[in-house]
Amino acid sequence: MGNLELKERDPFLLRRRRMVAEQIHGRKLHDPNVLSAMRTVPRHLFVPTHMQERAYDDQALPLGPHQTISQPYIVALMTQLAIEGARDKVLEIGTGSGYQAAVLAELFGNVYSIELDRERHDCAGRTLTRLHYQNVQLRIGDGRLGWPEESPYDVIIVTAGIDQIAPELRRQLCKGGRLIFPRSRPGSENQMLCVLSRTTVDHWQERDVTPVRFVPMH
């Protein structure tokens, strides 16, 4: 868990509560644990300083070339999908700002997150350290290959558009686990948020959730 004292002192507290009430609860996401996590994590600390006034707007925000911090509703939706089962270990592919990792850290025992870009990795690490998230571990690397040393995971979340999930990543999901990712369609900007569930060792079920728009995985 993060530093609650620091979070409760911030000047954006009322905006964050309004964000949750209007953008998340207002769109029929009602899980109390997700709502609490979204009210707790100070989203404005995960965006560039000059964009903090827009941190609680109902939209994704740019972090730099080819990277964004997702719309609050999408973060909440992916989190709600993630907590449908066991909550011991979650792997995030694409740390970005670290915001999704912080939200997950409010709900999971252990969060592992991989980022390809060193600058993003370092920035996210500083923010998570400032907020005292001790149950988040970060790594620089190609997230498509996962983090096999810490597997298996109850949940794997992919935060960039991808057309297929590599076998190496599938193998790191435990039986009964869920892999949540935006599936890209070749030749199209359209994506579909999907949940791939491992029902047995060799059997998988996939369901579509909602159309989304993520930056593509590089």
Give the pLDDT score at 1: 54
- Does 61 map to a domain? yes
Does the bond joining 182 to the residue before it have cis omega, within 30 degrees of 0? no
pLDDT mean across residues, the chain: 93
Q: What is the pLDDT averaged over residues 52-66?
A: 92
Give the pLDDT score at 41: 97
For residue 184, indicate whether it is catalytic: no
- Does 76 map to a domain? yes
- Does 218 map to a domain? no
DSSP secondary structure letter of residue 49 = G
φ/ψ of residue 76, rounded to 5: -65, -40
Is the pLDDT reported for residue 7 higher than 70?
Answer: no
Decide: 197 and 204 in contact? Cβ < 8 Å.
yes
Three-state secondary structure string covering 149-163: HHCCEEEEEECCEEC
Is the pLDDT reported for residue 4 higher than 90?
Answer: no
Number of domains in the chain: 1
- Residue of 36, 70, 97, 113 with catalytic role: 70
- Does 154 map to a domain? yes
Residues in a beta bridge with 192: 183, 211
- Does 122 map to a domain? yes
Q: Kindly indicate the confidence band of residue 142, based on its pLDDT and cuts at 50, 70 and 90.
A: very high
- Does 56 map to a domain? yes
Q: Kindly indicate the confidence band of residue 148, based on its pLDDT and cuts at 50, 70 and 90.
A: very high
**Sign of dihedral through CA atoms 79, 140, 117, 124?**
positive
- Does 217 map to a domain? no
Give the pLDDT score at 217: 86
Three-state secondary structure string covering 121-149: HHHHHHHHHHCCCCCEEEEECCHHHCCHH
- Does 144 map to a domain? yes
Q: What is the pLDDT averaged over residues 98-120?
A: 97
What proportion of the chain, given as a percentage, has pLDDT over 70? 96
Q: What is the pTM of this model?
A: 0.93
Tell me the DSSP string of 95-118. -TTSHHHHHHHTT-SEEEEEES-H
What proportion of the chain, given as a percentage, has pLDDT over 90? 84
Q: Kindly indicate the confidence band of residue 71, based on its pLDDT and cuts at 50, 70 and 90.
A: very high
Q: What is the CATH number of the domain that holds 179?
A: 3.40.50.150
Sheet holding 136-140, edge to edge: 136-140, 110-115, 89-93, 153-158, 173-184, 191-198, 204-212
Is the pLDDT reported for residue 109 higher than 70?
Answer: yes
Q: What is the pLDDT averaged over residues 133-159?
A: 96
Give the pLDDT score at 67: 87
- 27-36, 154-163, 179-188: the lowest-pLDDT one: 179-188
- Domain of residue 65, residue span: 4-212
